[in-house]
Structure 1
């Protein structure tokens, strides 16, 4: 089986090919050369890696599709973990942070006015729960929002 390791760089992709069968390896290299123009690819013999320019993204995607469908190759994507870590450090709001809804937003989730009495809040919640319950084909996220609104308004 041919294994293709792909690492995305700012200017394109770095590719490392490994195969236990020489014919598959040669086929992968041959198709790389036929799919991607010579001006958009290069080979570094020291690292044994191919480099494909970002401009050849479409051709590169077609080549990967060919490898997977015809040769049964396995694609492994490597990520620049240091870059991802830097991005997460500057991310705001932090991952997992969710703004607390205002009281007006909670009433709006139940399709009510803020002046609605407790009995109407309960009745609206029950009807909307029937429509949005995941067991009845509803949306799980919508049900979570309804539950949150009812819990905070009924308390």
Structure 2
């Protein structure tokens, strides 16, 4: 599993770690700010997760027909600073064109969503990877990515 970090960097970064968890890439640069793996425990207001450390990226290959990833996300992350928590950062692999098989092997997503204020709103914000390798706002979803994968 790979992710692009944005800002025009065309080199995908491999997610690493045991059990499907990874702390890399540490930062994804987007048009709405920098999404970062959290540092330290979650602040008050996050229910049963309060005080737990951020877990970083999780990914699941699952039992798909061709072995491609079925899930990628972070339950909680930071946007620009350790005090701004965002929730449910997820890669969308299901819509046509959102799953990319990389030429050197592995897979990535070209669509991410997240909750900018997870304790107050369930309104998702969408990002898509454009042809310049920048993560840009996509509204109301990433359906404009339709195409072949």
**TM-score normalised to structure 2 length:** 0.23
Higher-strand-fraction structure: 2
Higher-Rg structure is 1
**TM-score normalised to structure 1 length:** 0.22
Higher-helix-fraction structure: 1
